[in-house]
Amino acid sequence: MEVQVKDKVCVVTGAASGIGHQIAVTLAQAGGKVCVVDVQKEKAEASAAEVGGKAYLCDLRSVAEIEATMAAIVADFGRVDVLVNVAGLANRTPNESITEAEWDLLNDVNLKATYFMSKEAYKVMLGQGSGKIINFSSHRGSISDGRHTIYDATKAGVEAVTRSFAVSGGPKGITCNAIAPAYVITPMTTHNLENPEWMAHMCSRIPLGRLLEMQEVANLALYLASDKSSGINGQTIHLDGGWTAHE
Ligand SMILES: NC(=O)c1ccc[n+]([C@@H]2O[C@H](COP(=O)([O-])OP(=O)(O)OC[C@H]3O[C@@H](n4cnc5c(N)ncnc54)[C@H](O)[C@@H]3O)[C@@H](O)[C@H]2O)c1
């Protein structure tokens, strides 16, 4: 089975780095026209050049910037077939120390931007009668270690937003799903690799006995972006090596 997104316009947020970059590469290899949306100018431009796509500089904390970015993409490409909301920030501030500023920052990037990017893409997809939205949750959207409260809350929110767009969009030919990875080796998580105790704990928690690779996440994103996933809607798919299945 060859999974393709040939000539589909694919918008990927957070595509300057990590998982988003790997998804941009994978969608481009599968024939997609990739729009790289990120706040890191040089890295976004390098990523776009690598995949033969176009970079859009956008601070996703700003709804005005989101609206302008999506308008520019539609002006350039005329449509949006796939939106992958990958950009995100993590925190692990103890519950007795979280500040309002930290709460607002994570909420703005992880949850508010996921909604407003989806809203802008959804309006275009409604006109097309088709489209696929793929969001990023985490295993922490449904379980907690007591140290990632804001992150946990934003990812649980992303799962709720996913269900809502799936229900409203389904009758109009638009699907919305979320990927919930556990630990993937990316710039967000590499610092943990130098902590042998942490690694031993993680590998004992994850039945596969290892962290995940970015390509494994990108493979699922490609499948969800392609026509092969046509019956899947409103789901959060755990890509966690079995972590959340483990007692
Ligand atoms: N790495 C993991 O183990 C893991 C596990 C579960 C879920 N996730 C989720 O996967 C997604 C990607 O994670 P990653 O590890 O690749 O992260 P990363 O830090 O490598 O990349 C995040 C990207 O988001 C961009 N970004 C951050 N703030 C932005 C803003 N205000 N405007 C525009 N872009 C902004 C960054 O510039 C960066 O390119 C996140 O949503 C994360 O929560 C990651």
In a domain, 229, yes or no: yes
Quick check: is 90 in a domain?
A: yes
**Whether the model pTM is above 0.85:** yes
Q: Are 85 and 113 in contact (CB under 8 A)?
A: yes
Classify strands 54-57 and 82-85 as parallel, antiparallel or unpaired.
Answer: unpaired
pLDDT of the residue at 21 = 98
- Between the CA of 87 and the centroid of ligand 1 the distance, in Å, is 4
What are the two backbone dihedrals, phi and then psi, of residue 238, each rounded to the nearest 5 degrees? -80, 120
Q: What is the mean pLDDT of each run of 10 residues along the chain (247 residues)?
A: 94 98 98 98 98 98 98 98 98 95 98 99 98 98 95 98 98 98 87 88 92 97 98 98 95
Query: Would you say residue 4 lies in a domain?
Result: no
Give the per-residue pLDDT at 187: 80
**Are the beta carbons of 136 and 158 closer than 8 angstroms?**
yes
- Rounded CA-CA distance 157/95 in Å is 19
> Which DSSP category does 111 fall into?
I
**27 C-alpha to ligand 1 centroid (Å):** 18
Number of domains in the chain: 1
Cα dihedral 216→219→223→225 (10° resolution): 110
CA gap 31, 4 in Å, rounded = 6
Number of neighbouring beta carbons within 10 Å of residue 187: 10
pLDDT of residue 20: 98
What does the alpha-carbon distance between residue 23 and residue 43 come to, in Å, rounded to a whole number? 15
* Residue 182 is assigned to a structural domain of this protein: yes
Question: Which domain range does residue 186 map to?
Answer: 9-239
Q: Please tell me the predicted confidence (pLDDT) of residue 113.
A: 99
| 244 within domain boundaries | no
In a domain, 2, yes or no: no
Asked about 151 being catalytic, the answer comes back as yes
Residue 122 counted as domain residue: yes
pLDDT at 1: 74
Ligand 1 site residues (CB inside 6 A) read: 14, 16-20, 38-40, 58-61, 86-90, 109, 136, 138, 181, 183-184, 186-189
How far apart are the C-alpha atoms of 33 and 106, rounded to whole Å?
29
Secondary structure (DSSP) of 73-87: HHHHHS---EEEE--
| Interatomic CA distance for residues 240 and 180, integer angstroms | 7
Q: What was the pLDDT predicted at 112?
A: 99
CATH of the domain at 101: 3.40.50.720
Per-residue pLDDT, 190: 83
Classify residue 149: in a domain, yes or no. Answer: yes
Q: How far apart are CA 81 and CA 19, in angstroms?
A: 20
Report the separation in Å between the CA atom of 15 and the middle of ligand 1, taken as the mean of its atom positions: 9
